[in-house]
Chain A
Amino acid sequence: RKEVEQDPGPFNVPEGATVAFNCTYSNSASQSFFWYRQDCRKEPKLLMSVYSSGNEDGRFTAQLNRASQYISLLIRDSKLSDSATYLCVVNTGGFKTIFGAGTRLFVKA
């Protein structure tokens, strides 16, 4: 079992749709959680940290469920510019940070 697992997609959604990604992690001692966005042939960029209480940044909402060991990312009112690969990232302590393989999102007009 991979330490961090994501549905690779692709998710194909129309503009204005709401889309949700889930990510599961295997290490119950994991301490910090993030979502990154990576455009084609570009570097990953930090989208948001994920806190136990959940957090929101504009159209993006991240949730953490420690009991079930998953994190989620919800994107509302999808834009064409949201098309990218979304990486789930889990820090299991110290400098051990595990990146998921990513979920591809295509938003179409």
Chain B
Amino acid sequence: NAGVTQTPKFQVLKTGQSMTLQCAQDMNHNSMYWYRQDPGMGLRLIYYSASEGTTDKGEVPNGYNVSRLNKREFSLRLESAAPSQTSVYFCASSEDRGYGYTFGSGTRLTVV
């Protein structure tokens, strides 16, 4: 019963370093998402992929890039990490737009 698998669970980066967050789902969902969650704020959409082969910007895309590698996998890359990117990152998937989401367990990222 894997659902959505995210790696890593924790990461500490120095300012300017790069990293890729990995996400995979085994539910044959068409759509995948990357969100960040900060204290006192709702989840904010970084990027999404409506279907395999497409990606689009969300509310807060600056400083991030994504790749929809295949139907199962959707990665998020930070090219040059900044302290403002310290957050909890969640990957999610859904059958299609307007459907409920299944979330991964999250990545706690600290940029120092």
Residues of A at the B interface (CB closer than 8 Å) are 4, 8, 31-32, 34, 42-46, 49, 87, 91, 94-95, 97-102
By CB atoms of chain A within 10 A, which of B33, B42, B106 has the most? B42
Question: Given A42-B105, A43-B105, A44-B103, are A4 and B42 neighbors across the interface (CB < 8 Å)?
Answer: yes
Bound complex: CA A49 to CA B101 (Å): 11
Bound complex: CA A97 to CA B43 (Å): 10
| Total A-B contacts with CB atoms under 8 angstroms apart | 45
- Are A95 and B97 in contact, CB atoms less than 8 angstroms apart? yes
Closest residue of chain B to A98, judged by CB?
A: B42
Question: Given A95-B50, A95-B56, are A44 and B97 neighbors across the interface (CB < 8 Å)?
Answer: no
Residues of chain A within 8 A of B33, CB atoms compared: 95
Where chain B touches its partner, the secondary structure class is loop
- Are A49 and B42 in contact, CB atoms less than 8 angstroms apart? no
Question: Given A34-B100, A44-B90, are A97 and B105 neighbors across the interface (CB < 8 Å)?
Answer: no
- Are A46 and B102 in contact, CB atoms less than 8 angstroms apart? yes
- Are A43 and B45 in contact, CB atoms less than 8 angstroms apart? no
Closest residue of chain A to B39, judged by CB?
A: A101
* Least CB distance, B7 to chain A, in whole angstroms: 14
Bound complex: CA A37 to CA B22 (Å): 24
Residues of chain A within 8 A of B34, CB atoms compared: none
- Are B42 and A100 in contact, CB atoms less than 8 angstroms apart? yes
- Are B43 and A31 in contact, CB atoms less than 8 angstroms apart? no
B31 interface residue per 8 A CB criterion: yes
